[in-house]
């Protein structure tokens, strides 16, 4: 064979070898890529900490199931639960690996006709944190249209919705009741005045009473409007720096006449020079409501202390009386709108029952909180705590001294005399601004 022929053969063989190598390489790459995809489907979570195990897809789905805020359970036709999460158990949906009868009856109907169903049931003494779960909403449907062997049940704590609806009904009932009294009194007074129209003294007497009832009703309506605005506002629209000393001085001035009528001395401590970011008028109204409560629930000719001080990063305004105090069982309800510890006294002082609700929502809108310390027969201290504003000209935080001097001789809180300062666990009921949950948090309501 000639040299040229051998070259042709070798050249052709080289091409074949190259083609084989390319094919093998492509096959290897395909296999590697397939294995990588399979590994990726198994290794969806990988931590840099070598002490942790790689989570599989099944494990991740389990984590998702357990993290769900809803109770989830998958049940078969024999009532056996094949998949469930802890939330479902917490809500009382499952007992001994079996769906509870109330929900199973609903699931059985879904098995029969495949139609989605919703219902509400009452669990047996289940608890969520500090509150009992007394209403659970469930939704039941076929797991998949391709397989009717299982149904899935979703459960959600419905207690808060029930509470809110009950609170709404109570509020409407309370407003109706509270407005009914002055409206009825006004109607009766008008009739009496018409009958005594020829007696100037009688007309003047009943006219004064009529004016008082009209003023009380107008005040209640104004406070309801103000309260609804505060409850609906997530934040103050145009907060400005407010001098807390001016707030205290204006509130004391507003209440001084009523205090003098009862012989009550309003005592204040030295100015603290602090500012907060907020609404001056709302804050004056809040502090004035606290002072008015203290005056109305104190014996005549007893002092009421109004103090202000810087404490850490907050400004604390405290109103202290040496009055009748509030019983522990009432402290839990004194924050409810229209709730009155002493209804006769409240009626006599003309209270609307909304003052402390306004204080609470004012505190919330200023990112603060309101707290109560009280002991029957000793007195009460309401503390309004608001974030300190350190704007331009206020200096650095280190230049604003801690001025918490609320227990000077003239400003002793009722609890201090007995060795328990306001804010101690003993006898204290505290409401924080917390959410803006819902607040749905509990409403602070007036003693009168």
For residue 181 the two structure tokens come to 């009294």
- From residue 178, how far is each of 191, 229, 352 by CA, in Å? 21, 20, 8
Q: What is the pLDDT of residue 435?
A: 37
Q: What is the pLDDT of residue 339?
A: 64
For residue 195 the two structure tokens come to 């009958």
* 155 within 8 A of 91, measured Cβ to Cβ: yes
Q: What is the pLDDT of residue 405?
A: 38
371-425: pLDDT as tens digits: 889 988 889 999 999 999 887 655 433 334 444 433 333 344 444 433 333 444 3
Q: Which among 102, 136, 137, 93 is positioned nearest to 118, based on CA atoms?
A: 137
Would you list the DSSP string of 85-114?
Answer: -HHHHHTT-EETTEE-HHHHHHHHHHHHH-
Q: What is the pLDDT of residue 29?
A: 56
- From residue 406, how far is each of 18, 211, 259, 276, 308 by CA, in Å? 93, 40, 21, 19, 8
What's CA 125's distance to the chain center, in Å? 23
Q: Which among 75, 44, 48, 86 is positioned nearest to 61, based on CA atoms?
A: 44
pLDDT tens over the chain, length 448 residues? 444 544 444 454 554 444 445 455 556 556 666 776 666 555 544 444 444 555 677 788 888 888 888 889 999 988 888 888 988 888 888 888 888 888 899 999 999 988 999 988 887 655 555 566 778 888 999 988 787 889 999 998 888 888 778 777 777 777 776 677 678 888 888 888 888 888 888 888 888 888 877 877 777 777 677 767 666 555 677 889 999 999 999 999 988 888 888 889 899 999 899 999 999 988 998 999 899 889 988 888 889 999 999 998 999 999 999 888 888 877 777 766 666 665 544 444 445 567 777 888 888 888 999 888 998 888 999 999 999 988 765 543 333 444 443 333 334 444 443 333 344 434 444 444 443 433 333 333 334 4
Give the Cα separation of 348 and 295 in Å (integer): 13
Q: Which among 361, 400, 222, 354 is positioned nearest to 278, based on CA atoms?
A: 361
* 269 within 8 A of 308, measured Cβ to Cβ: yes
Q: What is the pLDDT of residue 17?
A: 46
Taken as a whole, the chain contains a residue count of 448
Q: What is the pLDDT of residue 214?
A: 81
Q: What is the pLDDT of residue 336?
A: 66
**Bridge pairing between strands 71-76 and 147-157:** antiparallel
**Domains of the chain (ranges, CATH numbers):** 57-157 (3.30.450.20), 162-232 (1.10.287.130), 235-431 (3.30.565.10)
- From residue 220, how far is each of 160, 353, 360 by CA, in Å? 28, 8, 17
Provide the edge-to-edge strand list for the sheet that holds 117-121: 81-84, 71-76, 147-157, 136-144, 117-121
What's CA 121's distance to the chain center, in Å? 25
| Cross-strand pairs, 379 | 375
- Residue 104, judged by CB atoms within 10 A of its CB (0-12, 13-18, 19+), counts as middle
């Amino acid at each position: 064979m000639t040299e040229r022929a051998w070259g042709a053969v070798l050249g052709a063989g080289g091409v074949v070898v190259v083609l084989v190598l390319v094919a093998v390489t492509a096959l290897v790459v395909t296999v590697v890529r397939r294995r990588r995809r399979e590994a990726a489907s198994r290794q969806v979570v990988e931590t840099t900490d070598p002490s942790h195990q790689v989570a599989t897809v099944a494990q991740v789905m389990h984590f998702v199931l357990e993290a769900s805020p809803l109770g989830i359970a998958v049940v078969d036709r024999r009532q056996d639960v094949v998949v469930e999460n802890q939330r479902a158990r917490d809500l009382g949906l499952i007992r001994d690996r079996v769906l509870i009868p109330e929900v199973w009856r609903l699931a059985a109907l879904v098995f029969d006709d495949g139609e989605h169903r919703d219902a509400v049931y009452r669990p047996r003494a289940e608890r969520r944190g500090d509150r009992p779960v007394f209403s659970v909403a469930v939704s039941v449907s076929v797991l998949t249209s391709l397989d009717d062997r299982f149904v899935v049940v979703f459960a959600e704590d419905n207690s808060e919705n029930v509470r809110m609806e009950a609170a709404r009904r109570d509020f409407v009932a309370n407003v109706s009741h509270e407005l009914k009294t002055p409206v009825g009194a006004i109607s009766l007074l008008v009739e009496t005045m018409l009958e005594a129209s020829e007696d100037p003294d009688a007309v003047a007497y009943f006219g004064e009473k009529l004016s008082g009832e009209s003023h009380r009703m107008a005040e209640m309506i104004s406070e309801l409007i103000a309260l609804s605005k505060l409850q609906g506002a997530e934040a103050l629209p145009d907060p400005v720096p407010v001098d807390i000393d001016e707030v205290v001085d204006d509130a004391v001035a507003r209440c001084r006449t009523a205090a003098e009528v009862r012989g009550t001395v309003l005592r204040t401590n030295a100015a603290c020079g602090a500012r907060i970011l907020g609404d001056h008028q709302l804050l004056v109204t809040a502090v004035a409501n606290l002072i008015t409560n203290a005056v109305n629930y104190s014996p005549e000719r007893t002092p009421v202390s109004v103090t202000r001080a810087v404490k850490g990063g907050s400004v604390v305004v405290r109103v202290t009386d040496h009055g009748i105090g509030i019983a522990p069982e009432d402290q839990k309800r004194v924050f409810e709108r229209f709730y009155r510890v002493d209804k006769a006294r409240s009626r006599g002082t003309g209270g609307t029952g909304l003052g402390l609700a306004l204080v609470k929502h004012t505190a919330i809108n200023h990112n603060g909180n309101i707290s109560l310390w009280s002991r029957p027969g000793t007195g009460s201290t309401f503390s309004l705590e608001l974030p300190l504003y350190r704007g331009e000209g206020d200096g650095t935080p280190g230049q604003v001294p801690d001025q918490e001097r609320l227990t000077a001789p003239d400003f002793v809180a009722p609890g201090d005399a007995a060795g328990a300062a306001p804010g101690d666990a003993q006898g204290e009921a505290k409401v924080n601004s917390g959410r803006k949950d819902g607040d749905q948090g509990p409403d602070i309501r007036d003693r009168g």
